[in-house]
Amino acid sequence: MVEFIFFLTYNDVTVYNAIEVFEKIKDTGIKHVGFKDVGLPKEKLIELHARMKKEGMTTFLEVVSATEEDNLRSAKMGIELGVDNLIGGIYVRQTLPLLQDTNIKYFPYIGKVVGHPCLLRGNIKEIIDDAKMVEDLGAYGIDLLAYRYDGDPEQLIKSIQRAVKIPLIIAGSINSLEKVRKMVEFDVWGFTIGSAIFDKKFVRGGTLNDQIWAVLKEIKQNTIDF
């Protein structure tokens, strides 16, 4: 089944009240939760991650910082926290050795990632070549900013799936149940939603819990159909 990863983030920044939000949503049935490497001080991230693990969650740290120094600092923080998955970041050759003696699964970005919130640029061939390189280097999977691409996102997803065999996480701008259904149709490993949950894109006027339930329900219903 496709995994829904709820990110306690807005516009690629961990929300200031992430601990409070997590306590509200932890019993929704969500099992995969994450946060970015920007937005909260380290001591708060330590507390947040500890609470996530206490509840049996699979955890994700997404690296959105731009510089090599900040990417590697964030990877080291992920190791210290003991996250299950490190996703994002572009400095793959430099990051992989840091994770060698850990159980952390690494899903780096591919393509030309610019700005913040992060956007994906480049032509499909360039992005495919990057995907193959990441696979050859030994990354566990890929974090693909498909819906932040300035080309055809669905063509991009299909092209990457044909080119590599490692798992694919679709990150960013999944803001409708139609796109959730597409994730099931494409049978990606997982996808992330952050801002759209806080903007209540899935259940007009509903609570945060209602948004999460709606996405989980959509996955379950369409998994049966497909």
- H/E segment holding residue 40: none
Q: What is the CATH number of the domain that holds 212?
A: 3.20.20.70
- What does the pLDDT look like over 193-222, one tens digit per residue? 999 999 999 999 999 999 999 999 999 999
- What does the pLDDT look like over 22-53, one tens digit per residue? 999 999 999 999 999 999 999 999 999 999 99
> Is the pLDDT reported for residue 224 higher than 80?
no
- What does the pLDDT look like over 142-161, one tens digit per residue? 999 999 999 999 999 999 99
Question: Does pTM top 0.85 for this prediction?
Answer: yes
If one counts the domains in the chain, the total is: 1
How many CB atoms are located within 10 Å of the residue 200 CB?
15
Q: What is the DSSP string of 134-148?
A: HHHHT-S-EEE-GGG
At residue 67 the predicted structure's pLDDT band, cuts being 50, 70 and 90, is very high
CB 185 within 8 A of CB 194: no
Range of the domain at 34: 3-225
Per-residue b or e along 205-221, where b marks 16 or more CB atoms closer than 10 Å to that residue's CB = eeebbebbbbbbebbee
